[in-house]
Structure 1
Amino acid sequence: MRSDARLLLLDKDAVEALLLPDEALEAVREAFTLHSRREGRVFPVVREALRTGGVFGIKSGDVESQGLLGFKAAGFWPANRAVGGEPHQATILLFDPATGRPTCVIDGNAITTARTGAAGGIGLQQLARPGSSHACVFGTGVQAQVQLEFALRLMPALRHVRYVTWKGEPDSRFEARFASRCNIAHASDANEAVACSDIVITATPGAGPLFDAQAVRPGTHLNCVGADTRGKRELPEGLLQRVRLFVDDATQARQIGETQWCPDAPCEEIGDLLTGKVAALRQPQDITVFDMTGLALQDLTLARRIHQRALTTGAGASVPWAW
């Protein structure tokens, strides 16, 4: 038995210190490209409801050429809020593919947040009209915040933001976070906010349709984040039949994404836009949707970069791990 091996542990503080927004964008672009070229594998997703009221999932994959193998165990436990905890929980584990030995345990919450925000930003760059100036955001939680962060970062014309909350009340902390970067205000009428927007971002728990289909006007782009489990949805009935639909992974989107509600709808993978396999060729009247279910490769490519930087900088805690 080898007794000199060690396992690196990177907690939340270490990950957040090592994580850079630009690197998240690079890692997610890399993940989409690897997936498009089928140079990285995405294994079947586990996503199951628990009797405790939580949802538990595993996303895994590998990139043989990079010696990259791992998984993210993650889920959502809404009852955590009542005890002052974070409902989203995620842990990433990287392995040596030659031996199966674990090499790094990484807190996955910050990685999940950053890579999903970056994926949304790439979706906007590829699919939204470049001059888009008005956005509507559903939700004010962690994912709504990071989606808007990347939207403002990557869409220079975006200046006006309306947001919708499930309680129908303003969120002063959400407004304060973005007040210096855009004209932001609470919207009491979801349909009106959607109708006035070039970009719609849905980042809610996916409990049901958030607005009426007829509110979406021609030329709108929608980034949909909340449907990531069987039975979840944010879009209204009849909308997907009217749009050009893009997904991160076609099989996964039909199983757990917004596309589960219209599985026969033609769709294209966003990675194929990045590699030139398909062209967006957006017409002014097109309505586009990016159904984001999250790829294991996004987690793994970003985790690999953080792991490498941690080894260089000495971050984290290293513990003996005989094998």
Structure 2
Amino acid sequence: MLILSEAQARQLVGIDDAIEAVAATFRAMAKGAARNYPVVREGVGLNDAVFGVKAGADVSTPFLGLKAGGYWPGNMAKGLGNHQSSTLLFDPATGRAAALVSANYLTGIRTGAASALATRALARPEASVLGIIGTGGQSPHQLACTARVRNLTRVHGWDTSAESAARFRETVEALGLDYVAEADPEAVARAADVIITVTPSQKPILQKAWIRPGTHISAMGADTKGKQELDTALVAAARLFVDEAAQSVSIGEFQHAFAAGLIGPEALTPLGAVLDGSATGRHAADEVTIFDGTGVALQDLVVAELAWRKALESGAGVTVDY
């Protein structure tokens, strides 16, 4: 079995590679060649931690595996990231464990890649002003990946921590972009062409009245029952796209509008179907589009499998008898 450290995973998988790998697995999902298995996600009962396991397989590549990890809110005080996870890959032909890959960076980059794909497919071509709601550890990945698919000129950011929003300035300006740290999320919404929400919120942050016609929103924070970043009226009025419909209406952003009967399954278009040309994306310049990025197992597995393949080619990692 090959073991890859956090530093090695970061070195092996770049932004463009991650975007195209996630696009490939979304297309495989749309064709029925890849499937996510039911998610396990539970409170640990210690240190307010949440732990989960996501698994799946893509028979077209092929790959098989799982990612295990979660959120430990007290980790920052210990000098560790709050999000901790690892991916275990298996040989799909034999079931033997093939690789153990540190997945903290890979989780960030695959999440950024998913929202970038949604922006590439759904945002207006001229969209150049990005709004980010939530400027924590995920925000640099969101920014870097979005900058690969749109010619950004300015970024507006907001966070419940004004200090975090201010610190984000360095990340934005390192890309040569203008940055505005806003006092509230309404100001971000009214300024942006593309909005990314990436928070752990359990109540709506963005309201329908704030969103300009033609805006694209990637809602990336909701991955657990009860989480919510968008007003249900906003969801009900927009065209809706998902990484996976079953997760979206159970643990994703669209769970609330679905439970309230404001939307049905027919309203949800898989992003993979847009990417492979079997479904249409944006219909009109003034349409509001929303992508619900719940984070599926196949995203984690495809970037881990990419790291594993590149490691085999370059000789990176440590091989152990298992």
TM-score scaled by structure 2?
Answer: 0.94
1:254 to 249, 252, 255: 249
* Distance change >3 Å, CA 197–CA 205, structure 1 → 2: same
Match of 1:23 in 2: 17
Cα-to-partner distance string for 1:148-202 (whole Å, 9 max, x where unaligned): 111122101x212110010244644310121142110100132122112111111
Inter-partner Cα distance in structure 1 for 2:85 and 2:127? 33
Cα-to-partner distance string for 1:71-93 (whole Å, 9 max, x where unaligned): 10121111112212111011000
Q: Is the 8 A contact 1:245 1:267 kept in 2?
A: yes
SS at 2:142's partner residue?
helix
Inter-partner Cα distance in structure 2 for 1:260 and 1:207? 12
The answer to whether structure 1 residue 229 and structure 2 residue 224 are counterparts is yes
Q: Is the 8 A contact 1:170 1:186 kept in 2?
A: no
Match of 2:93 in 1: 98
SS at 2:279's partner residue?
coil
Q: Is the 8 A contact 1:72 1:299 kept in 2?
A: yes
Q: Which has the larger displacement, 33-42 or 200-209?
A: 200-209
Match of 2:161 in 1: 167
The answer to whether structure 1 residue 116 and structure 2 residue 111 are counterparts is yes
Inter-partner Cα distance in structure 1 for 2:291 and 2:282? 15
Superposed structure 1 runs of 4+ greater than 4 Å apart = none
Work out the number of aligned pairs and report it.
314
Match of 2:133 in 1: 138
TM-superposed CA distance for 1:134, in Å, is 1.8
Q: Is the 8 A contact 1:169 1:186 kept in 2?
A: no
Match of 1:34 in 2: 28
Q: Is the 8 A contact 2:222 2:251 kept in 1?
A: yes
SS at 1:32's partner residue?
helix
SS at 1:116's partner residue?
helix
SS at 1:126's partner residue?
helix
AA paired with 1:166? T
Match of 2:309 in 1: 308
RMSD of aligned Cα (Å): 1.4
Cα-to-partner distance string for 1:243-295 (whole Å, 9 max, x where unaligned): 00100000111111001011252111100001111111421221110000112
Q: Is the 8 A contact 1:127 1:282 kept in 2?
A: no
Inter-partner Cα distance in structure 2 for 1:292 and 1:281? 17
Inter-partner Cα distance in structure 2 for 1:128 and 1:99? 42
TM-superposed CA distance for 1:141, in Å, is 1.4
Cα-to-partner distance string for 1:17-74 (whole Å, 9 max, x where unaligned): 1111111011101110100001011111111222121111111111224341101012
Match of 2:102 in 1: 107
Match of 1:185 in 2: 180
Correspondence 1:289-304 to 2 at 5 A: 289-304=290-305
Inter-partner Cα distance in structure 1 for 2:153 and 2:103? 31
Match of 1:288 in 2: 289
Match of 1:3 in 2: none
AA paired with 1:8? L
The answer to whether structure 1 residue 43 and structure 2 residue 13 are counterparts is no
SS at 1:26's partner residue?
helix
Correspondence 1:2-21 to 2 at 5 A: 7-21=1-15
Larger CA Rg, structure 1 vs 2: 1
SS at 1:66's partner residue?
coil
TM-superposed CA distance for 1:136, in Å, is 1.4
Inter-partner Cα distance in structure 2 for 1:218 and 1:27? 31
SS at 1:97's partner residue?
coil
AA paired with 1:201? I
Runs of 5+ unmatched residues, structure 1: 1-6
Inter-partner Cα distance in structure 2 for 1:155 and 1:93? 33
Q: Which has the larger displacement, 260-269 or 69-78?
A: 260-269
Q: Is the 8 A contact 1:135 1:200 kept in 2?
A: yes
TM-score scaled by structure 1?
Answer: 0.93
